[in-house]
Amino acid sequence: MMLTVDDVLRMAAAAGVTVKVKGFDLVVEHSVDSPVDLLLMLRRYKPELVSALRMRQANEPSQPPEAVASEASSANRDAALLQVMSESPGSSLQDWANASGQSKRAVQTLLEGRLRKRRLVENSVGKWRLTDEGRKAVSEGYVDVDATNAA
């Protein structure tokens, strides 16, 4: 059974655990020892949790997307964009920019630059999409752009 982000967050809350996002890291706060199964589940769903919580954070008026994006390194910006592309293939550059907390121009630059060069994305008939290598990077929960480039 596949759990949703909301399911995972509800289970965490029921166990007295608060899950937040800071940049591209999960921050887990708890007053008592958390069940090991819960921590393993949070680790398993980390990419989905980070993406969803960042989208929610970016939609809050008190935290503009530019402030969220400024905390991330270039590798984390790459990972965020690839994760968002995986979750919503066929969306517009603006949608991906909003969801990843980056400007549309930054997304376009990433796609046309290092992500294409590293064969993580491709443009076919005017539409950007993940390559097999890009999907693999997302499924592994990280993008080590230097290692991907060296391969």
Q: State pTM to two decimals.
A: 0.49
Q: 98, 5, 102, 75: which is closest to 47 by C-alpha?
A: 5
Residue 77: band (very low, low, confident or very high) from pLDDT cuts 50, 70, 90? confident
Q: 51, 108, 41: which is closest to 79 by C-alpha?
A: 51
Rg (Cα) of the chain, in Å, rounded? 16
Q: Is 45 helix (H, G, I), strand (E, B) or coil?
A: coil
DSSP string, 57-107: HHHSTTS-HHHHHHTS-HHHHHHHHHHHHHHSTT--HHHHHHHHTS-HHHH
What domains can you pick out in the chain, each with its CATH number?
5-59 (no CATH), 65-150 (1.10.10.10)
Q: What is the mean pLDDT of residues 59-85?
A: 63
pLDDT tens, 90-109?
A: 889 998 988 888 888 888 99
